[in-house]
Amino acid sequence: MIRRDNIGDLVCTTPLIHALRERFPGARICALVNSYNLPVLLGNPDIDEIFAYTKAKHRPAGQSLFGVYRDRLKTVARLRAMRFDYVILAAPGFQPRSLAFARLMAPRHIVGFTETGYRACRHIDIKIPYLPDNALHEAEDVFRLLEPLGISGMPPPARVFPAATECTAAAAQLPPAVLHIGIHISARKPSQRWPVPHFVELMRRLHRETACAFVLFWSPGDASNPFHPGDDAKAREIVAALPDVPLLAYPTVRLEQLIAGLSLCEAVICSDGGAMHLAAGLSKPILCFFGKSGATRWHPWAVPHIVLQPESREVADIGVEEALAAFARLLKSREERVGWVE
């Protein structure tokens, strides 16, 4: 299975992987991902081996472009030597670069979506025509790739597995409380960002009403960094405004830290993005804010959730009272294991 893109996309592919394992318990199942989203699959018992390559834009300081491509060729050579029966291009739509990887691996069969206008589609021998305007969730859409292998129906829940050592380190810092709520304040798109005063007021009110404690997550760094803008300043502002509220400030330099921290929360509040999908993979009830993104395709998969998306498609227009009321409903029904969208 090849999936090269973002964190949330890979989380939404874990139902496909689990269904493969359930259908073919004795098969050797491997995944080819990139170094950025690799932690999403670490510890997943459905996968025998994970291979990761580094995209040029993600290469660490000190590694040359030559080194990146040399290591990539070594990975492909190892995969080619394994003589796979099937390679699944596990992403909606035709994926030319994933197909190039698959062809270098020389499997017996390549399973993938095809679209009109791409001559390279002829190299996919098990073809599924792709309809770009379908109304499916990402997890449902990519799951259609399993139909030629005799697997159909509704995808199972997403699955993400935190590392025990990371969980232990995070748990040692948690403030005591019956209910720990994860608050993730970062969002890549400006339309997905909720204002700091809103977070402060929401957290103050929730603590007063439920005696909860919070784990505050954000992308570390300076907002002015053009390559990796962070929210250190926003996090400091929130912490300074809530001196009497039990709060663990938990910047996540590594994705493994974010996964472990989210796993210790009983519920999560965040905007649409990678953290939201990770929380869904950890079976957490989620209150999520959607701006200029499609809630039908990207809502949390197979967990209790409420989506708040204003008509303006600007998350900043969601009021604190609206968020409080929605979260109260989420807590009330969090054991029902069903989701809904408002």
Mean pLDDT by 10 residues, the chain (342 residues): 94 98 98 94 98 74 72 92 98 93 96 94 96 92 97 98 97 96 95 97 97 96 75 97 97 95 98 97 98 96 97 98 97 62 44
Question: What pLDDT does 226 receive?
Answer: 61
**135: exposed, middle or buried (Cβ count in 10 Å: 0-12, 13-18, 19+):** exposed
Give helix 164-171 / helix 255-263 axis angle, nearest 10°: 60
Gap between the Cα atoms of 316 and 310, Å rounded: 9
Question: What pLDDT does 227 receive?
Answer: 55
46 close to 21: Cβ distance less than 8 angstroms: yes
Give helix 96-105 / helix 65-81 axis angle, nearest 10°: 50
Question: What pLDDT does 3 receive?
Answer: 95
Write down the pTM of the prediction.
0.94
Question: What pLDDT does 62 receive?
Answer: 67
Domains and CATH numbers, the chain: 7-149 (3.40.50.2000), 164-332 (3.40.50.2000)
306 close to 289: Cβ distance less than 8 angstroms: no
Question: What pLDDT does 335 receive?
Answer: 55
Gap between the Cα atoms of 292 and 312, Å rounded: 9
Question: What pLDDT does 143 receive?
Answer: 98
SS (H, E, C) the chain: CECCCCHHHHHCCHHHHHHHHHHCCCCCCEEEEECCCHHHCCCCCCCCEEEEECCHHHCCCCCCHHHHHHHHHHHHHHHHHCCCCEEEECCCCCCHHHHHHHHHHCCCEEEEEECCCCHHHHHCCEEEECCCCCCCCHHHHHHHHHHHHCCCCCCCCCCCCCCHHHHHHHHCCCCCCCCEEEEECCCCCHHHCCCHHHHHHHHHHHHHHHCCEEEEECCCCCCCCCCCCCCHHHHHHHHHHCCCCCEEECCCCCHHHHHHHHHCCCEEEEECCHHHHHHHHCCCCEEEECCCCCHHHHCCCCCCEEEECCCCCCHHHCCHHHHHHHHHHHHHCCCCCCCCCC
